[in-house]
Amino acid sequence: MIIGHDIAGIREDAEGRRSIDVVNPANGSIVGAVVAGDSEDVDRAVAAAVAAFDAWSTRPMSQRIAHVEALAEGLARHRERLAATLSAEMGSPIAFSRAAQVGVAIADLARLVDAARSHVARESVSNSLVIAEPVGVVAAITPWNFPLHQIMLKVGAAILAGCTVVLKPSEVAPLNAALVGDILREIDLPAGVVNIVHGDGAGVGSALVTHPAVDMVTFTGSRSVGEGVARAAAATIKKVALELGGKSAAIVLEDAPIEESVDSVLASCFANAGQTCAAQTRVLVPASLLDAWQDAAVRATAGWAPGDPADESTATGPVASGLQRDRVRAHIETAIDQGARLLAGGLDIVEPTAGGAYVQPTIFTDVTPEMRIFHEEVFGPVLTITPYATVDEAVDLANDSVYGLSGGVWSSDPRRAFDVALRMRTGTVGINGAGLDVGAPFGGYKQSGIGRECGVHGFEEFLELKSVMGAAALIDDHS
C-alpha cells in the first residue's frame, strides 16, 4: 500500500500517484511505499499551514502544551510499533530503536514542554515592551538517521511556539512520520497545524525551501545539502536553522581510565551503525597510552558485531541503505590507500550480513591530518586513532576541522577535563562519557550549522521578537 500525504488533517489518497519504495537495509526487502510528492502538493500543504496559523498562534500556551503532551503520550502508546517501523526502514537495532529512537523523542517533547511552560512572552526592556511571537509557517526537513527524534525536535518546538508546519521526512525512512500523522489525528490536533508531504529533495524539499509563504526552514542533514538549503532560502530572506555534519574528536588525557574511555568512545562512534552526527569518530590518545588503548579498543569491538536488527541482542545493524554502505566503504578504501593502518573491521563482508547494507565496525590507527579520513565525515561505524605528545597538540588536532558539532574529554580529574573542554571549538562536549542532554542546547560551530535544537534554545528558534517602543509600562496589562 502506498501512503499518501497528510494535509489539513486528512491522509490523502495515493491511488495512481508515483511512489517511492521504502527498503529494509538488512535484507533488501520492500517494507512500504510513500507518494513521491511534487510542488503542487507543497502548495496545498503550505496553504493549509497558512490557513491554520492565525487560530493556532493565538491559542493559549496551555492548550498548545496539552496537544504536545498528548503527542508524547501517543508516542509512548505506540512505542513498539514505532520501534519496529524504524528498525525495518532504516536498520536501527530493535532495542536501540525502542530506547533511543523512540525514547529520546519522548524525552525531547518533555523538555520542550518545560521550556514552553516557563517561557516569558512579554518583558519590559528599557522603554519598550518586547514581545516574542511565532515566526510563522515552518518548513521542517528531517533526516533518516534519527528520524523520529528530529521530527519531534522541530515539530514539537514549532507548534509550542505557535507556528504551523509542513514536514518533509526523509524518503529513506518516511514510515515513522506516517505513524506520527496517525497519532496527530488521534489527539485531534487542529487541521493544518502539522502537514506531512512525502518525497525527495528535488520534488518536495526545493519547493518548500523556496516557497514564498514559508517563513522559516529548519533542516538537518549533510553539510553540502545544508549549503544548498541556505542559498535557496536566501532568495526570500527566510529564517534558517541548520543542523549539519560533524567530525567530532574525543581527547583521552594521560590520566584517563583506559577501559572506560574505550567503551564510551566506541559507543559514541558505533551506535546506530555510526550514523550519528555527533559521533566521536576521531580519538586523540597520548603516545604513552597508545598501545594499551588500541589493544583495549580491538577487544571491545567484538561486542559490536553486526547482526539482524530485529534481534534483541544485536548491537550494530546495517547502515540505512545500499548507497550509504557504498559511501562508507569508499571512505575505508581511501583510508587504506592513504596509509592508515587497519586494526579492526575493514572491507570484508561476513555472514550473516552478506545480503544487507552492512559495514563492519572499523578502527584505523596511524591516522594523520593529511588523510581524508581525519577530516571528512564518514557517517558509518569507522573510528580513527591519532597519537599526540602534548595537551596543546591534542586540542589543536581536535579543532583542526571545518566542523564543530561535538566532542569529548576523558580524565580522572573532571576539573582538568573541563578546562580542556573549554578550549574545544564545538557546540557540545561530553566529559568522561556524558552523552546527549535533550534539555541543553544542541548545535554546532563553524560548518556544523546555524542555531540550536533541544530545550529552551530549541524552542526559541521558532520565535521572532517585536519591540513596542514606549509601551514598557503596559506590561501588566498584556501579560
For residue 350, pLDDT over 80 is answered with no
Of the candidates 438, 466, 449, the one whose C-alpha atom is nearest the C-alpha of residue 156 is 438
Mean pLDDT of the chain: 97
For residue 56, pLDDT over 70 is answered with yes
* Percentage with pLDDT > 70 across the chain: 99
Strand 449-450 relative to strand 430-431: parallel, antiparallel, unpaired? Answer: unpaired
Q: Strand order of the sheet with strand 382-388?
A: 341-346, 360-365, 382-388, 280-286, 248-252, 407-410, 430-431
Distance of alpha carbon 327 from alpha carbon 322, whole angstroms? 9
**What is the reported pLDDT for 14?**
93
Asked if residue 267 lies in contact with residue 242, where contact means CB atoms within 8 angstroms, the answer is no
Section 108-117 average pLDDT: 98
Write out pLDDT tens, residues 443-479.
Answer: 999 999 999 999 999 999 999 999 999 998 887 644 4
Asked if residue 242 lies in contact with residue 450, where contact means CB atoms within 8 angstroms, the answer is yes
- Quick check: is 243 catalytic? yes
Distance of alpha carbon 52 from alpha carbon 69, whole angstroms? 20
**What is the reported pLDDT for 476?**
64
Phi, psi of 442 (to 5 degrees): -125, 130
Retrieve residue 267's grid coordinates: 559507543
Retrieve residue 58's grid coordinates: 493565538
Write out pLDDT tens, residues 146-187.
Answer: 999 999 999 999 999 999 999 999 999 999 999 999 999 999
Q: Classify 167 as helix, strand or coil.
A: strand
Section 227-233 average pLDDT: 97
**What is the reported pLDDT for 395?**
98
Rounded to the nearest 10 degrees, what angle do helices 79-90 and 175-186 cross at? 160
Of the candidates 164, 446, 132, the one whose C-alpha atom is nearest the C-alpha of residue 154 is 164
For residue 255, pLDDT over 90 is answered with yes
Asked if residue 229 lies in contact with residue 201, where contact means CB atoms within 8 angstroms, the answer is no
> Widest CA span of the chain, in angstroms?
73
The Cα-based distances of 417 to 207, 402, 420 in angstroms read 46, 23, 5
Burial 233-247 (b: 16+ CB within 10 A, else e): beeeebbbbbbbbbb
The Cα-based distances of 349 to 160, 167, 317 in angstroms read 46, 37, 13
| Global pTM value | 0.96
**What is the reported pLDDT for 478?**
44
Active-site pick, 12, 277, 377, 461: 277
Q: Which long-range contacts (CB under 8 A, 24 or more apart) does 470-476 make?
A: 470/127, 470/128, 471/128, 471/129, 472/124, 472/125, 472/126, 472/127, 472/128, 472/129, 473/124, 474/129, 475/122, 475/123, 475/124, 475/129
Distance of alpha carbon 413 from alpha carbon 416, whole angstroms? 5
Paired residues of 3 in beta bridges: 34
Distance of alpha carbon 130 from alpha carbon 107, whole angstroms? 30
- Quick check: is 269 catalytic? no
Phi, psi of 164 (to 5 degrees): -110, 160
Active-site pick, 12, 89, 171, 243: 243
Domains and CATH numbers, the chain: 2-244+448-477 (3.40.605.10), 248-431 (3.40.309.10)
Residue 25 burial by Cβ neighbours in a 10 Å radius (0-12, 13-18, 19+): buried
Residues 6+ apart with CB under 8 A from 7: 41, 44, 45, 48, 192, 195, 196, 197
**What is the reported pLDDT for 479?**
41
Write out pLDDT tens, residues 431-443.
Answer: 999 999 999 999 9
